[in-house]
């Protein structure tokens, strides 16, 4: 079940946009659950909790395999992002990803915005990289859309880290795309990653009716294996 771990690690290594107009009255808390479908089979569930307090935020995402997949993929993958709320939205301070108590597989990224340096710890060693303005981690990305929705452009680029490196991403934006989810039918904004034929493809669907939160996430690997993350429940606190 290494594919599931890889999927959860890069789920989703994609997806934010920094525009010039912030969303007013973003919620103070979000509780969302998703199911992960691999080539038509339900293999895992994801629970995410987003909270804001005193101009700081925390996001905790727990992913756990289900059914027969739980026999091979034991333990919970926990990903945490913490940081500050600024005029530009979320500004991560620390990103932390781990499986259970396995410290050997833990990934940590510390954002030093004063020096513009990102320090990444993984596989038993530490690396640093220049920190571009507006960089998100792979979890804060999902909630940055509440503050900076992709409504002003049909194409955008951004920086994002998965705790091992920083990459640049380029996405197309298509509004008014209706999809069905286990939660309900929704009108969405559809984002598609621009990539080479031998690279992983990524797509995301955001709901304007629900603060531009993600309601569907799709990864298509180079060999054609599909991982689809679909919203099953959403609770929003003003």
Is it the case that residue 121 has pLDDT exceeding 90? Answer: yes
For the whole model, what pTM was predicted?
0.86
Mean pLDDT value across residues 30-49: 97
* pLDDT tens-place string over residues 151-164: 878 888 889 999 99
Helix extents (H) in the chain: 2-10, 69-72, 140-144
121 Cα distance to chain centroid? 19
* pLDDT tens-place string over residues 17-26: 333 333 347 8
Mean pLDDT value across residues 6-29: 51
The whole-number pLDDT of residue 150 equals 86
Mean pLDDT value across residues 201-209: 96
Q: Delimit the domains of the chain by residue range.
A: 2-232
The residue with tokens 């003003």 is 238
In this structure, the strands spanning 185-193 and 166-180 are antiparallel
The whole-number pLDDT of residue 19 equals 35
The whole-number pLDDT of residue 101 equals 74
- Domain 2-232 matching CATH 1.10.3210: the answer reads no
């Amino acid at each position: 079940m290494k594919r599931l771990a890889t999927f959860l690690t890069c789920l989703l290594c994609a997806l934010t946009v920094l525009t010039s107009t912030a969303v007013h009255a973003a919620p103070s808390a979000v509780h969302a659950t998703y199911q992960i479908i691999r080539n038509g089979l339900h293999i895992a569930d994801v629970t995410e909790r987003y909270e804001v307090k005193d101009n700081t935020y925390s996001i905790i995402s727990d992913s756990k395999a289900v059914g027969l997949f739980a026999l091979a993929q034991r333990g919970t993958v926990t990903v945490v992002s913490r940081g500050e709320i600024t005029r530009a939205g979320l500004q991560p301070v620390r990103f932390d990803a781990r499986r259970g108590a396995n410290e050997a597989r833990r990934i940590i990224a510390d954002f030093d915005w004063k020096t513009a340096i990102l320090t990444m710890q993984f596989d038993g060693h530490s690396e640093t990289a220049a920190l571009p303005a507006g960089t998100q981690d792979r979890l804060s990305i999902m909630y940055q859309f509440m503050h900076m929705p992709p409504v002003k452009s049909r194409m955008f680029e951004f920086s994002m880290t998965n705790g091992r490196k920083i990459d640049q991403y380029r996405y197309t934006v298509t509004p008014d795309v209706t999809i069905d989810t286990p939660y309900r039918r929704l009108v969405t904004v559809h984002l598609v990653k621009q990539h080479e034929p031998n690279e992983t493809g990524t797509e995301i669907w955001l709901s304007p009716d629900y603060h531009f939160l993600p309601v569907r996430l799709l990864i298509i690997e180079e060999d054609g294996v599909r991982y689809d993350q679909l919203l099953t429940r959403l609770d929003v606190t003003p």
